[in-house]
Structure 1
Amino acid sequence: MPRLALYTFGVLKFPLTDSAPLAQEFYASGEAVYREISRRPGYIAHAEPARHVQGDLFDADWGEWGKFTVPAWYAKGRTAETAALATTLSLWSDLRPAFDAVYTGLHRTALTRRHDWFDGTGHPGHVLWWLPDGSLPTWQDGVRRLHLLGEHGSAPHAFTFPRSFAPDGTPIGR
């Protein structure tokens, strides 16, 4: 049975190593969101580095999730001290559980604060695509599909929650 990959990308208003109260609120919220999401029905896994150091994304060992990369339009820092981004790569059993995890619970509450934490970029903030059972998405896949979504809009190989597709390419809910 196909599985669903979800890649998210946002540009933060502050570097990942910022110790200001606003940044600390974001990190605390993110940790709670990850704990809640990992217990959701339909959740399979998300990319995690072998060793977590705050801000160290580009040089981290991501294992089977591939080499860490970001969209070409990301123009802020790439070191632990200067990186100002929040990104996720996760795997789900189906579209509905992923949608519910994003738009309910603690993540929904966090979404109401996104303008406090993130810069507007004019680019899509998430992309979804189907994978064959037994495979994992990579960071490179996520970035490539986010670029495709931004250039061509939703299609079966790169889509959004509002304009989604079934594994066979059939549009859903339109």
Structure 2
Amino acid sequence: MPHLALYTFGVLKSPLADPGPLTRELHGSGEAIYRKISQHPGYLTRAEAADRSRGTHFDLDWGAWGEFAVPTWYDKGRTVETSVLDATLSLWTDLRLAFDAVYTGLHREALNRRHDWFERTEHPSHVCWWVSDGLIPTWRDGVSRLEHLHDHGSAPHAFTFHHSFTPDGTPTRIKDIGPKSDQVR
């Protein structure tokens, strides 16, 4: 049975190393959010570095998730002092369960504050796609799908929660979100 891959990417308003209250607040909420999401039905796993103490996303060993990569439009820092990005890559059993995890509870509260922490851009902040059971997507896969989504819109290859597809490529709609159409079931 295919699994849903979910990649998120955002550009922060200040570097990860910024000691200011907003950056500390973002970091402080992150661990609680990850803990809660990892207990959510449908959650399988997420990209976690083997050794979190060595530096930025770029410096870490991500194992099967591959070398860390960023979209071509990210043109900012890559060091501890200058990096202004946040990215996640995770696997889920089901589209609806992933949506519920993202848009409820602690993560929903954080989403409501995202403009306090993240720059507003014309680029999508997340992308979904289906992977075969047993396959671990890479950071490069996530970047490629996000760039495809930006350039071409939602398609079975790369889509959003609001314009989603089943594993066989059929457009679908999660109840209460997405386009309402006779062609969408």
Identify the TM-score tier after normalising by the shorter chain: over 0.9
Identify the residue that residue 15 of structure 1 maps to in structure 2.
15
Q: 1:21 to 1:116 in 2, by over 3 A?
A: same
Q: Is contact 1:5-1:89 (8 Å) kept?
A: yes
**How far, CA to CA, are the matches of 1:55 and 1:143 in structure 2?**
21
Identify the residue that residue 59 of structure 1 maps to in structure 2.
59
Alignment of 1:27-38 (within 5 A): 27-38=27-38
Q: Which one has a bigger Cα radius of gyration?
A: 2
Alignment of 1:1-174 (within 5 A): 1-53=1-53, 56-173=56-173, 174=184
Query: SS in structure 2 opposite 1:119?
Result: coil
Deviation digits for residues 28-54 of structure 1 (CA, Å, limit 9, x no counterpart): 111111010000010000001101138
Q: 1:25 to 1:38 in 2, by over 3 A?
A: same
Kindly report the root-mean-square deviation, in angstroms, between the aligned alpha carbons of the 2 structures: 1.0
Q: 1:55 to 1:25 in 2, by over 3 A?
A: farther
**How far, CA to CA, are the matches of 1:5 and 1:136 in structure 2?**
9
TM-score by length of 1: 0.98
Q: Is contact 1:76-1:82 (8 Å) kept?
A: yes
- The one-letter amino acid of 1:121's match is T
Q: 1:141 to 1:48 in 2, by over 3 A?
A: same
* 1:17 Cα deviation from its structure 2 partner: 1.2
* 1:81 Cα deviation from its structure 2 partner: 1.3
TM-score by length of 2: 0.92
Unpaired runs of at least 5, structure 2 = 174-183
- The one-letter amino acid of 2:42's match is G
* 1:121 Cα deviation from its structure 2 partner: 1.5
Query: SS in structure 1 opposite 2:59?
Result: coil
**How far, CA to CA, are the matches of 2:26 and 2:54 in structure 1?**
13
Unpaired runs of at least 5, structure 1 = none
Q: 1:55 to 1:126 in 2, by over 3 A?
A: farther
**How far, CA to CA, are the matches of 1:154 and 1:61 in structure 2?**
31
Runs of 4+ with >3 A deviation: none
Matched positions, count: 174
**How far, CA to CA, are the matches of 1:111 and 1:135 in structure 2?**
29
